[in-house]
Structure 1
Amino acid sequence: MRFTPGLFIGIILLLCGFQPPTYKLAKLKYNGGGDWYANRTALPNLINFCNTTLKTNFNPQEAIVEVGSPELFNYPFAYLTGHGNVVFSNAEAANLRKYLTGGGFLHIDDNYGLDKFIRKEMKKVFPELTFEELPASHSLYNQKFKFPNGLPKIHEHDGKRPQGLALIWQGRMVCYYTYECDLGNGWEDAGTYPDDSPEKRQSALKMGANLIQYVLTQ
């Protein structure tokens, strides 16, 4: 074996117990004019929380990937959020379906205003499936952190209860949709939403960690 300076440094880091990040989580960029880029600090904060509490080894920075890109298949977990319009072309819907049925996972987080668009677009991806609400007894709510009442409510807008909805394909959850919850807002930097308490933010991060743990082990 020919030892290069880079290889030598890599061996020293491994001997010292350093392990490079294994993979990234991705934010999904979509067309239609909606603010796919919302919740700018959410994923980095969730990544840090998971690396600390679950001992995962995610890259600290999120990736940005387009719905129709082959790069999507590089990421085990994709996050989609926003307030407005979402449009998937036929090719994008087919790419997303291939990703999800091939082992990928999508978390859709309604930032209020997304619902009437995303349900229609996900029908392009899985015309044969319908979102179904998960019971509070589901294992998603009983990972490292316990949520005996199911999905927590993070932001209050119109008095509706939070709902954790899922698309189940051939016995496997491929998509989890947090509706009337605003989970990702609770992952953002402390102080982003002054009315949010530290307890709400911790609840959101713990629920996010449960989701990551569930996805990596289901």
Structure 2
Amino acid sequence: MLKKLSFVVLLLCSLGAMPPAAPSYQLAKLHYGGGGDWYANKTSLPNLINFCNQALHTNLAPDEATVELDQPELLTYPFLHMTGHGNVSFTTAEAQNLRRYLIGGGFLHIDDNYGLDKFIRPEMKKVFPELEFVELPFSHPIYHQKYQFPKGLPKVHEHDGKRPQGFGLVYKGRLVCFYTFECDLGNGWEDVGTYPEDTPAVHDAALRMGANLVSYALTQD
């Protein structure tokens, strides 16, 4: 409820109904262990933040934060983004901290940057051993925030040529983790020209879907 009320306040501020306020939230990128390139896609989150502030009239801090799972600051970020191509490793304590963060109202977006899948699934089992990733139906609200995606995730990069899939971990009826697979959503957020094959239309679709993720994370109960 606190996240939802704060989101309404920042919307009112942006529309001039209240005096301007300091940034209400900062989005964070997860610095994880195991040697994988957690730092990939350097322009992704800044571009998404800028897009959300313009299109959703949010008041997000312009710079992303970087956080590790053993840092107390983790609990201050309502939206945690994770990406990479390679190995991921959570310690027992880190898995427990991530579980507390997600149960307590946090939201994790995992974006497979190609090659992450075989590593992230067993690590998330440490966090929620009782849960399985389930593919979300296209009717799920995450696809129907400000922007409508009636066919699910946009396809940014081909990878193995499979269809893009959005998987979720649902804890007591609440989506706590959204995992984008065979999509490469974060690459679509990067500066236009980073990947010459990505058209402006692909870039825009990726940002719109990203804005849906942020909107959903900040407004869900």
TM-score above 0.5:
yes
**Same amino acid, percent of matched pairs:** 69
SS in 1 for 2:29: strand
User: 1:18 deviation in Å?
Assistant: 3.4
Deviations 1:73-129 (A, max 9, x none): 010010000000000000000000000000001000000010000000000000000
Cross-structure match for 1:77: 79
- 1:180-204 residue CA offsets vs partner (Å, 9 max, x unmatched): 0000000011110010000000000
Aligned mate of 2:194, from 185, 192, 209 = 192
Cα RMSD (Å): 1.2
CA contact (8 A) 1:69 1:95 kept: no
Instruction: Answer with 1 or 2: which has the greater Rg.
Output: 1
Deviation at 1:19, TM superposition (A): 2.5
Q: CA deviation at 1:157?
A: 1.5
Measured against aligned partners, the alpha-carbon deviations of 1:40-84 in whole angstroms (never above 9, x if no partner) come to 110000000000000111000000000221110010010000000
Cα deviation for residue 158 of structure 1 reads 1.2
Deviating more after overlay: 117-126 vs 207-216:
207-216
Higher mean C-alpha deviation, range 121-130 or range 145-154 = 145-154
Aligned residue number for residue 33 of structure 2: 31
Hey, what does 2:159 align to over in structure 1?
157
Task: Say if 2:63 is the partner of 1:61.
Answer: yes
* Runs of 4+ residues deviating >4 angstroms: none
Q: How does 1:117-196 map to 2 (within 5 A)?
A: 117-196=119-198
Is there any run of 5+ residues in structure 2 with no aligned partner, and where?
A: 1-15
Q: 1:86 is paired with a residue of what secondary structure?
A: coil
Q: Name 1:4's counterpart in structure 2.
A: none
Report the Cα distance in structure 1 between the residues aligned to 2:127 and 2:19, rounded to whole angstroms. Answer: 43
Identify the match of residue 202 of structure 1 among 201, 204, 219.
Answer: 204
Letter aligned with residue 183 of structure 1: L
Among 96, 104, 118, the alignment partner of 1:102 is 104
- Structure 1 unpaired stretches of 5+: 1-13
The alpha carbon displacement at 1:139 in A equals 1.1
Aligned counterparts of 2:168 and 2:73: Cα–Cα separation in 1: 24
TM-score (norm. length: structure 1): 0.91
